[in-house]
A and B are shown apart, each in its own frame.
Chain A
């Protein structure tokens, strides 16, 4: 069973979003890091870059796989987690905490994100396919 904190929002691309006022912290879910395996490389954009919802903004790589991370909302990068760039294993060890990836600021409130219950249902459906 995956750990899906109820206070976060999610995407079908397995990112989590923690919204606080006009900013949002983004990472990948516990389910995503498990599917990926040992994370060995994280590439994040420069602070100040803007992304549209659904646009790839970074890359997380395991020994075997390359996985793009998609912007869960439209906004500008205000901070990136340099710790995770130096120690990619943080994504595996603490995906919802020290393994966070980037902080976005937004002007239009994000829409279409999944609640924890919806995301949990989504990954269960995927597993049973």
Chain B
């Protein structure tokens, strides 16, 4: 199993370690609920070095990203970043990504750990005719996230960068406790916060310092519950090889008017015809927790779809779920059954997202 440069730190902190996307990662330290609340109320510190960091440089870097990304990055200024999706020709999803515009002809693409090899191959497969250089810097640069309402005040004294005035989705070169890298105002929790890209050899020291000044270490368990409440998609759940962005309610990330890109023809047709399935939010009213893969059925027992993510929401104190169901089959307030170990348990379709993100914009 692969290890991040912070592996020994997780073990020393008494984390429970699990395999995730081929990596030996902390799933929890003190407990998912406590960590979840610490992030919503204070500042949570996450090791996300398992994610992929690919550099795209060269005169055609922007044109190349426009080819592989559904989003229109022509308006992403230097020092800004945007959420994007890489699609297959048929509109299915390769991965969701963040594209950071670092400098003239210099971009960083951050992708999911579990998809890193596939994404790297996918990018390299499409460079023909583009004057670009792809560099995998995932090993040399560690990546940590500091998220929550106290993230800004904890980070500001430790860096030369003006993080207080760093824009939402902005990225800047920064020195943190003497280590040179980047800080961005991005994250995956629905809170204000930052992601730090710093040399792997110096990350233990910076991790320790952030804990010292009051950040709480957060494992993958709470990372999942924190992204679930504000409705941030997770590959393998809401998005997948056979789920397209319109089904996943990510149509806003698909910019068909920017010109052709991989998947644009198929996505044009999907949009014109309307997606076959759609993502809805469910609140369990019966006793039970919906989990990924559980069938969702109408009250007469007819099939509607399947749960993509479900769990007890630590912030809202309800058992909630996202489900991918037949498009147009369910309105807000409709009642359905979730089959939990073959038993129907009642749920109501509710508005999403469950939790309103509190970004500093």
Q: A-side interface residues toward B, CB under 8 Å?
A: 34-35, 37-38, 40-41, 43, 59, 61-64, 66
Q: How far is the CB of B359 from chain A (nearest CB, A)?
A: 24
Closest 6 CB pairs between A and B? A63-B32, A40-B312, A38-B33, A64-B221, A38-B31, A41-B289
What does DSSP make chain B's interface, helix, strand, loop or mixed?
mixed
Count of interface residues, chain B, beta-carbon cutoff 8 Å: 19
**Closest residue of chain B to A62, judged by CB?**
B32
The complex places the Cα of A51 from the Cα of B42 at a distance, in Å, of 47
Q: Contact between A37 and B16 (Cβ–Cβ < 8 Å)? A: yes
| Cα(A37)–Cα(B16), bound, Å | 9
**Closest beta carbon of chain A to B110's beta carbon, Å:** 24
**Does B199 belong to the interface (CB within 8 Å)?**
no
A63–B346 alpha-carbon span in the complex (Å): 20
Does B264 lie at the interface of the complex (its beta carbon under 8 Å from any beta carbon of A)?
Answer: no
Residues of B close to A38: CB separation below 8 A: 31-34
Contact in complex: A64, B311 (CB < 8 Å): yes
- Partner of A66 from B27, B31, B34, B291 at Cβ < 8 Å: B291
A64 lies within 8 A of B224 (CB): yes
Give Cα distance in the complex from A59 to B291, angstroms.
Answer: 13
Minimum distance in angstroms from A89 CB to a CB of chain B: 9
Which residues of chain B come closer than 8 Å to A41, judged between CB atoms? 288-289, 312, 319
**Does B361 belong to the interface (CB within 8 Å)?**
no
Total cross-chain contacts (CB, 8 A): 38
A37-B221, A40-B289, A41-B288 as given contacts; A64 in contact with B16, CB under 8 Å: no
Q: Least Cβ distance of A73 to chain B in Å?
A: 22
A35 CA / B341 CA spacing, docked (Å): 22
What's the nearest-Cβ distance from chain A to residue B141, in Å? Answer: 29
Interface positions of B from 288 to 329, Cβ below 8 Å from A: 288-289, 291, 311-312, 314, 319
Which chain B positions have C-beta within 8 A of A59? 341
B81 to chain A, nearest CB (A): 29
A35 partner residues in chain B, CB cutoff 8 A: 16
- B66 part of interface (Cβ distance < 8 Å): no
Contact A61–B224 (Cβ < 8 Å) = no
Known: A37-B16, A37-B32, A40-B312. A61 touches B289 (CB 8 A): yes
* CB-defined A-B contacts under 8 Å, sample of 24: A37-B28, A37-B31, A38-B31, A38-B32, A40-B289, A41-B289, A43-B287, A43-B288, A59-B341, A61-B289, A62-B32, A63-B32, A63-B33, A63-B221, A63-B225, A63-B311, A63-B312, A63-B314, A64-B32, A64-B221, A64-B224, A64-B311, A66-B289, A66-B291
Q: A37-B32, A63-B314, A64-B27 are in contact. List 16 more A-B contacts (CB 8 A).
A: A34-B16, A37-B27, A37-B28, A37-B31, A38-B34, A40-B289, A40-B312, A41-B289, A41-B312, A43-B287, A43-B288, A62-B32, A63-B32, A63-B221, A64-B32, A66-B289
